[in-house]
Amino acid sequence: MVASILPLHLTGLEVHRRGKRLLGPVSMTLKGDGTTVIIGPNGSGKTTFLRALHGLERCTHDAAKWQADEETVRARQAFVFQSPIMMRRSVQDCIAYPLILAGQGKTNARAAAAEWAERVGLSAALTRPAHVLSGGEKQKLALARALIRQPELLFLDEPCANLDGRSTREIEVILADARQSGTRVVMSTHDMGQARRLADDVIFLYGGLIHEAGPKDAFFSAPKTPETRAFLNGDLLP
Amino acid sequence: MVASILPLHLTGLEVHRRGKRLLGPVSMTLKGDGTTVIIGPNGSGKTTFLRALHGLERCTHDAAKWQADEETVRARQAFVFQSPIMMRRSVQDCIAYPLILAGQGKTNARAAAAEWAERVGLSAALTRPAHVLSGGEKQKLALARALIRQPELLFLDEPCANLDGRSTREIEVILADARQSGTRVVMSTHDMGQARRLADDVIFLYGGLIHEAGPKDAFFSAPKTPETRAFLNGDLLP
Amino acid sequence: EMKMAVTTSFANSGLADVLLPQIQADTGLEVQLLIVGTGQALRLGAAGDVDAVLVHARAAEDKFIAEGNATHRREIMYNDFVIIGPAGDPAGAGKATSADEALVAIADAKAPFVSRGDDSGTHKKELSLWASAGVEPTGDWYRAVGAGMGAALNTASGMNGYIMSDRASWLKFGNKGDLALLFAGDPVLFNQYAYMPVNPAKHAHVNNDAAMALEGWLVSDTAKALIDGYTIAGEKLFTFNATAN
Amino acid sequence: MNDILLGLAEAARLIVSFDPELIEITLRSLQVSVGAMVIASAIGLPFGAWLAINRFRMRRVVIALLNALMGLPPVVVGLIVYILLSRSGPFGVLGLLFTPTAMVIAQVIIITPLIASIAHQAIRELWADYHDLLISLNTTKSQRIRALLWDGRRALLTASLAGFGRAIGEVGAIMIVGGNIDHATRVLTTAIALETGKGEFALALALGFVLIALAIAVNFAMHALSRTERSGRW
Amino acid sequence: MNDILLGLAEAARLIVSFDPELIEITLRSLQVSVGAMVIASAIGLPFGAWLAINRFRMRRVVIALLNALMGLPPVVVGLIVYILLSRSGPFGVLGLLFTPTAMVIAQVIIITPLIASIAHQAIRELWADYHDLLISLNTTKSQRIRALLWDGRRALLTASLAGFGRAIGEVGAIMIVGGNIDHATRVLTTAIALETGKGEFALALALGFVLIALAIAVNFAMHALSRTERSGRW
Ligand SMILES: Nc1ncnc2c1ncn2[C@@H]1O[C@H](COP(=O)(O)OP(=O)(O)OP(=O)(O)O)[C@@H](O)[C@H]1O
Ligand SMILES: Nc1ncnc2c1ncn2[C@@H]1O[C@H](COP(=O)(O)OP(=O)(O)OP(=O)(O)O)[C@@H](O)[C@H]1O
Ligand SMILES: [Mg+2]
Ligand SMILES: [Mg+2]
- CA neighbor of E108 nearest in space, from E156, E38, E185: E38
CB atoms within 10 A of CB A92: 23
Is residue C61 a contact partner of residue C73, using CB atoms and an 8 Å limit? yes
Condensed to tens digits (0 to 9), the pLDDT of residues E101-160 reads 999 999 999 999 999 999 998 899 899 999 999 999 999 999 999 999 999 988 898 899
Among the listed residues A138, A84, A134, A140, the one whose alpha carbon sits nearest the alpha carbon of residue A117: A140
User: Within a domain: residue A62?
Assistant: yes
Does a structural domain hold residue E147? Answer: yes
Taking alpha carbons only, the member of A134, A155, A127, A162 closest to residue E137 is A155
What integer pLDDT is reported at residue E81 of this predicted model? 92
Max CA distance (Å), chain E? 65
Contact B145, B118 (CB under 8 A): no
What confidence category does residue A237 fall into, taking pLDDT thresholds of 50, 70 and 90? low
Task: State the maximum Cα–Cα separation within chain D, in Å, rounded to a whole number.
Answer: 65
- Please give the pLDDT value at position D234: 38
Contact B41 A166 (CB under 8 A): yes
- Is 80 exceeded by the pLDDT of residue D20? yes
Instruction: Answer whether residue D64 shows pLDDT above 90.
Output: no
pLDDT at B80 over 90: yes
Question: Would you say residue E10 lies in a domain?
Answer: no
Q: ipTM, 2 decimals?
A: 0.89
Q: Using a 6 Å CB cutoff, which residues line ligand 2? A: A 125, 128, 132-137, 162; B 17-18, 20, 22, 40, 42-48, 82
Q: What is the CATH number of the domain that holds D62?
A: 1.10.3720.10
Predicted pLDDT of residue C151: 84
Query: Cis omega (within 30 of 0) on the bond before B7?
Result: yes
Number of residue pairs across A and E with CB atoms under 8 Å?
41
Does residue E104 lie within any of the structural domains? yes
- Better-scored residue on pLDDT, C169 or C195: C195
Nearest ligand to the CA atom of A126: 2
Q: Ligand 2 centre and the CA of A134: distance in Å?
A: 4
Q: What is d(CA D181, CA C33) in angstroms, rounded to the nearest whole number?
A: 6
**Rounded (5°) CA angle C194-C196-C198:** 165
The per-residue pLDDT for A95 is 95
> Over pLDDT 70: what percentage of chain E?
96
Contact B52, B27 (CB under 8 A): no
- State the pairing for strand pair A153-157/A184-188: parallel
Determine the pLDDT at residue A138: 93
A130 domain-assigned: no
pLDDT of D227 > 90? The answer is: no
Domains in chain E, number = 1
**Is some CB atom of chain C closer than 8 A to the CB atom of D202?**
yes
CB contact under 8 A, B135 and A237: no
Q: Which amino acid is at D133?
A: L
Q: What percent of chain A has pLDDT over 70?
A: 98
A67-A69-A74 Cα angle (round to 5): 95
How far apart are the two ends of chain A, measured CA to CA in Å? 46
The verdict on whether omega for the bond into residue A151 sits within 30 degrees of 0, i.e. cis, is no
On the question of pLDDT at E94 being above 80, the answer is yes
Residues 6+ apart with CB under 8 A from D217: none
CB contact under 8 A, B74 and D151: no
* pLDDT of res. E11: 82
Q: Would strands C231-232 and C142-144 be described as parallel, antiparallel, or unpaired?
A: unpaired
Comparing A197-201, B222-226, D227-231, the range with the smallest average pLDDT is: D227-231
For residues B160 and B167, the answer to whether their CB atoms sit within 8 Å is: yes
**What are C179-223's pLDDT values in tens digits?**
999 998 888 888 899 999 999 998 888 899 999 999 999 999 999
Question: What's the pLDDT score for residue D42?
Answer: 97
Dihedral angle sign, alpha carbons of residues B160, B162, B167, B169: positive
Return d(Cα A66, Cα E158) in angstroms, integer: 45
What pLDDT score does B172 carry?
92
Give the mean pLDDT of D139-161: 91
Is residue B186 in a domain?
Answer: yes
Q: Which residues partner with C3 through β-bridges?
A: C32
Measured in Å, residue A133 CA sits from the centre of ligand 4 at 9
CA distance A41 to A49: 13
Instruction: Tell me how far apart the alpha carbons of residues A95 and A117 are, in angstroms, rounded to a whole number.
Output: 8
**Cross-chain residue pair C119–E198, CB shorter than 8 Å:** yes
SS in 3 state form for A14-54? EEEECCEEEEEEEEEEECCCCEEEEECCCCCCHHHHHHHHH
The residue whose CB lies within 8 Å of the most ligand 1 atoms, and thus the one to mutate among B126, B127, B137, is: B137
**Cα angle, residue A17 at apex, residues A12 and A18 outer, rounded to 5°:** 135
* pLDDT tens digits along A20-79: 899 979 999 998 888 999 999 999 999 999 999 999 988 888 888 888 888 888 889 999
Q: Is A235 part of the contact surface with chain B (CB cutoff 8 Å)?
A: yes
SS3 C52: strand
To probe the interface with C, which of E6, E94, E192, E194 has the most C CB atoms within 10 Å? E194
CA-based end-to-end distance of chain B = 46
The chain-wide mean pLDDT, for chain A, equals 90
Q: What is the spatial order of strands in the sheet that A64-65 belongs to?
A: A20-30, A8-17, A64-65
**Average pLDDT of the segment spanning E206-227:** 87
**Of all atoms in ligand 2, which is nearest to the CA of residue A133?**
31
Q: Which atom of ligand 2 is nearest to the CA of A124?
A: 29
Task: Answer yes or no: is A101 within a domain.
Answer: no
Compute chain E's Rg from CA coordinates: 20
> Any idea what the Cα angle at residue A177 is, between residues A172 and A181, rounded to 5°?
150
Contact assessment for residue E116 and residue E62, using Cβ atoms and an 8 Å cutoff: no
Burial-class residue A209 by CB neighbours within 10 Å (0-12, 13-18, 19+): middle
Q: How far is the CA of B192 from the centre of ligand 3 (A)?
A: 23
Lowest mean pLDDT among A58-67, B33-42, C102-111: A58-67
Which helix (H) or strand (E) segment holds residue D25: the answer is: helix D20-53
CA–CA distance, A51 with A165 (Å, rounded to integer):
27
Are D182 and C32 in contact (CB < 8 Å)?
yes
Rounded CA gap, E157 and E166, in Å? 14
Amino acid identity of C64? F
D83 contacts in chain E (CB < 8 Å): 1, 3-4, 201
In this prediction, what percent of chain C has a pLDDT beyond 90?
36
- Chain A residues near residue E143 by CB distance under 8 angstroms: 101
Q: Give exposure, B115-141, as e/b (b: 16+ Cβ within 10 Å).
A: ebbebbbbeebbebbbbbbbbbbbbbb
Where residue D230 falls among pLDDT bands split at 50, 70, 90? Answer: very low
Instruction: Taking residues C93-117, report their average pLDDT.
Output: 90
CB D232 within 8 A of CB B86: no
Instruction: Indicate the Cα dihedral angle A17, A23, A29, A35, nearest 10°.
Output: -100
CA of E123 to the centre of ligand 2 (A): 28
CATH of the domain at B213: 3.40.50.300
∠D187-D190-D196 over CA atoms, to 5°?
135
Nearest ligand 1 atom to alpha carbon A20 = 4
Query: What mean pLDDT is reported for chain E?
Result: 88
Please list the alpha-helical segments (H only) found in chain B: 46-54, 70-75, 91-101, 106-120, 135-147, 165-180, 192-198, 216-221, 226-233
Which ligand has an atom closest to residue A48 CA? 1
Residue E186 covered by a domain: no
Rounded Cα gap, residues B203 and B223, in angstroms: 11
Whether the pLDDT of residue E234 is over 70: the answer is no
C172 — pLDDT class (breaks 50, 70, 90): confident
pLDDT of residue E233: 42
Taking CA atoms, what residue in B is nearest to D153? Answer: B88
**Which of B62-76, B102-116, B198-212, D30-44 has the lowest average pLDDT?**
B62-76
Q: Which of A14, A18, A44 to mutate to test the pocket of ligand 1 (most atoms within 8 A of CB)?
A: A44
Contact status of D225 with chain E (Cβ, < 8 Å): no
**How remote is the CA of residue B88 from the centroid of ligand 1, in Å?**
16
Q: pLDDT tens-digit profile of D125-147?
A: 899 999 999 999 999 999 999 99
E228 assigned to some structural domain: no
The alpha carbon of residue E207 and the mean position of all alpha carbons in its chain are separated, in whole angstroms, by: 19
Across the interface, do D4 and E117 touch by the CB < 8 Å criterion?
no
Cβ atoms within 10 Å, residue C167:
23
Helices (H), chain E: 2-16, 20-53, 59-69, 74-85, 100-136, 141-151, 153-169, 172-178, 188-198, 201-229
Q: Domain span at residue E170?
A: 22-181
> Is residue B219, in this structure, part of any structural domain at all?
yes
Listed residues: CB within 5 A of ion ligand 4: A 134-135; B 47, 82
Average pLDDT of the segment spanning B11-29: 89
Q: Report which of residues A35 and D7 the model is more confident about.
A: A35
Distance, in angstroms, between A164 CA and closest chain E CA? Answer: 25
Nearest CA to ligand 1 atom 13: A43
B144, part of any domain? no
| Strand ranges for chain A from DSSP E | 8-17, 20-30, 35-39, 64-65, 77-80, 153-157, 184-188, 201-206, 209-215
Structure letter (DSSP) for residue C198: B
CA distance E117 to chain C (A): 32
The alpha helices in chain C, defined as continuous H runs, are 8-13, 15-27, 38-46, 58-66, 99-109, 121-133, 149-159, 167-172, 208-218, 221-229
Domain count, chain A: 1
- What gap in Å lies between CA D76 and CA E213, rounded to an integer? 13
Q: Does B28 touch chain D (CB under 8 A)?
A: no
Confidence check: pLDDT of A181 > 60: yes
pLDDT band at A126 (very low <50, low <70, confident <90, very high): very high
* Residue % of chain D over a pLDDT of 70: 96
For chain E positions 198-217, those within 8 Å of chain D (CB to CB) are 201, 204-205, 207-209, 211-212, 215-216
Neighbours of A190 (CB within 10 A): 25
Q: What letters, b where the CB count within 10 A reaches 16 and e where it falls short, cover B43-75?
A: bbbbbbbbbbbbbbbebbeebbebebeeebbbb
pLDDT given at position E232:
40
- Would an 8 Å CB–CB cutoff place E132 in contact with chain A? yes
Which residue has the least CA distance to atom 8 on ligand 2?
A: A132
Within a domain: A172:
yes
What is the nearest CA distance from E99 to chain C, expressed in angstroms? 11
Ligand 3 (single-atom ion) residues, CB below 5 Å: A 47, 82; B 134-135
From the list B140, B168, B190, the residue facing A165 with the nearest CB is B190
Q: Domain limits at B55?
A: 8-83+152-233
**Average pLDDT over every residue of C165-178:** 84
Cβ of A165 under 8 Å from any chain B Cβ?
yes
Q: Say if B83 is an interface residue toward chain A (CB within 8 Å).
A: yes
pLDDT tens-digit map of E170-195: 988 998 888 888 888 899 999 998 88
Q: Which atom of ligand 2 is nearest to the CA of B20?
A: 4
Cα–ligand 1 centroid distance for D41 (angstroms): 37
Q: Which of E82, E74, E83 is nearest to E108 (CA)?
A: E74
CA distance E221 to E217: 6
In a domain, D141, yes or no: yes
